[in-house]
Structure 1
Amino acid sequence: MSKIDWSSRFGTLVHDVARVYSRHFDRRARGNFDLTRAQCRVLVTLHRYGVQTQAELAERMELTPMALVRLLDRLREKGLVRRERDPHDKRAHLLYLTQASEAEIDTIVAFANGVERDALADLSPAERAELSRLLGKVLANLTRTEADAGAPAKPVRGMRDTSRMKQETATP
């Protein structure tokens, strides 16, 4: 078997970029936030996709329900998230952002935009646009492949119009 150049493999690159980007976010966030990156992700995900059940959020974030509950408890204590029983399913809880969370979202996005600037510093505007376009195509390919394989489509409650938001690209 020939030697594999792991540094040029797509999956390796995507994983390494995400890992180092996350570390960079954490390092810059220390002392600037009263929130962890995981808590930021919960807020940004709720902002991006709107009201959803705890189970839907846990699946979307690829967290165990117990790990999500701990994050939600901390965010509820800070007054940033509220839980209400789902009127259509008494076993489920719907998650809502509070008014106080809007200021936190703005802070998270501004901070994440700085981290993104660091990550993309040596790319021209055209290269940035091309990178976004190409990653969008990869995402579409994988999403289509998942759908073709029969992965069940997940309904998304309260999907927001995100066309006005830079936040989508600034997710921590």
Structure 2
Amino acid sequence: MNGPPAPLVEELSQLGYALMRLLFSRAKEVFAQEGLSLLQAEVLRLVKEGVRLPSRLAEHLEILPSQVSHLLTSLEETGLLRRHPDPLDRRRVQLELTPEGEAVALRLKEAWLRVFGQTLARLSPEELGAFRALLTKLTEVERG
């Protein structure tokens, strides 16, 4: 299979980037209301979803461990996150959200869903179904 023609690929690429920029811009505004950057908000989301090790955060965020350390320090200083020794390996630390961190993570998720929902509201129910099907198809992991 040769794929779609190059001009169409370029146009879809530009539209994809425009959508990502729009969503990231809106996310930055929403997260700034909580005094957080995009990366800090993503750390809260990942820890809430079960990522407990700083090394795993670095992998998920695709940043250096030293950058994760700075993010964790800033979130600890604001009382949103705690680091504590790993009971299975005292050389490592595990991460957990504080009660305030849990509350902020929930507010961020709700705010993000409102923002994304506002963007999706421009689509008809049929378009939403088609968009979902296309995103699902494009994001499926190839099985081999």
3-state SS of the aligned residue for 1:89? Answer: coil
Aligned to 1:108: 108
3-state SS of the aligned residue for 1:83? Answer: strand
The code of the aligned residue for 1:21 comes to: L
TM-score, normalising length: structure 1: 0.69
Aligned to 2:35: 34
Aligned to 2:91: 91
The code of the aligned residue for 1:38 comes to: L
Aligned to 1:138: 138
The code of the aligned residue for 2:44 comes to: L
Alpha-carbon shift at residue 77 of structure 1 (Å): 0.9
Distance between the aligned counterparts of 1:82 and 1:47, measured in 2?
Answer: 12
Alpha-carbon shift at residue 85 of structure 1 (Å): 1.9
Specify whether residues 92 and 125 from structure 1 end up closer, same or farther in structure 2 by C-alpha distance, changes over 3 A only. Answer: farther
* Percent of matched pairs sharing the same residue: 29
TM-score, normalising length: structure 2: 0.80
Aligned to 1:20: 22
Provide Cα deviations, 1:111-139, integer angstroms capped at 9, x if missing partner: 11221023213112332233223212322
Q: Which runs of 4+ in 1 moved over 4 A?
A: none
Q: How does 1:23-102 map to 2 (within 5 A)?
A: 23-30=25-32, 32-48=33-49, 50-102=50-102
Distance between the aligned counterparts of 1:144 and 1:71, measured in 2?
Answer: 33
The code of the aligned residue for 2:98 comes to: T
3-state SS of the aligned residue for 1:137? Answer: helix
- Gaps in structure 2 of 5+ consecutive residues: none
Which structure shows the bigger proportion of residues in helix conformation? 2
Specify whether residues 47 and 29 from structure 1 end up closer, same or farther in structure 2 by C-alpha distance, changes over 3 A only. Answer: closer
Alpha-carbon shift at residue 17 of structure 1 (Å): 2.1
Alpha-carbon shift at residue 19 of structure 1 (Å): 2.5
The code of the aligned residue for 2:127 comes to: E
- Gaps in structure 1 of 5+ consecutive residues: 149-172
Alpha-carbon shift at residue 33 of structure 1 (Å): 1.9
Greater relative contact order (Cα < 8 A, sep 6+)? 1
Q: Kindly name which structure, 1 or 2, has the bigger radius of gyration based on alpha carbons.
A: 2
The code of the aligned residue for 2:48 comes to: H
Distance between the aligned counterparts of 1:84 and 1:29, measured in 2?
Answer: 26
